[in-house]
Amino acid sequence: MAKAHSPRIQTGHSYVIAIVWEEDSCAPDGGRWRGLGEGSTVPYDNNRIGEGEFEGRARTAAQARQVLAEGGLNIGLKDEMAGKSAASLATALKAAKPEEFRPFAQESAAGACD
C-alpha cells in the first residue's frame, strides 16, 4: 500500500527528505529522527527537486512546477523549489525566519518512562 501524492521510495531514484529530531527522554539514544509529515519526501533525480519517481511514475521538474502554476491550498516550499538544486533549498532554508516553536508530538509526562 502507498499513499497518494507521494513518492514510493524506489531503488535507482534519489530523494530529499525533511526530517526533525524528536527528543524522547525514555529512549536509550535520547530520541529519533522522523519525517516532518506528509509531503516531507520529495523526488530528487538529476539534481532537481521534484524530478524523479512520484506515485510510482517518472515525473519531470516541469511537471512538478505545474503544481505551483495551478495553485491551491497545499502549495509549499517543495513546490516553489521544483526544478532547483538541493543547494538552492539549503540557501532558502537558511534564509527562512523561524516560527514559534511547536512540538511535533506530545512530550512525555514526568515518570512516563517508569
d(Cα 95, Cα 93) in Å, to the nearest integer?
5
**Alpha-carbon Rg for the chain in angstroms:** 17
SS3 of 3, please?
coil
30: confidence class by pLDDT, cuts 50, 70, 90? confident
DSSP category for residue 46: G
Quote the cell numbers at residue 74: 497545499
Confidence of residue 104 (pLDDT cuts 50, 70, 90): low
User: Does residue 112 surpass a pLDDT of 70?
Assistant: no
Q: What are phi and psi of 19, to 5 degrees?
A: -125, 160
68 phi/psi in degrees, rounded to 5: -65, -40
- The gap between the terminal CA atoms of the chain, to the nearest Å, is 36
Q: Does an H or E element contain 94, and which?
A: helix 86-95
- What are the boundaries of each domain within the chain? 15-87
Tell me the percentage of the chain whose pLDDT exceeds 90.
41
The 10s digit of each residue's pLDDT in 39-94 is 889 999 999 999 999 989 999 999 999 988 888 777 888 899 999 999 999 999 89
Grid cell 509529515 — which residue?
37
108 vs 67: CA distance, rounded Å: 39
Name the pLDDT band for 35 (thresholds 50, 70, 90).
confident
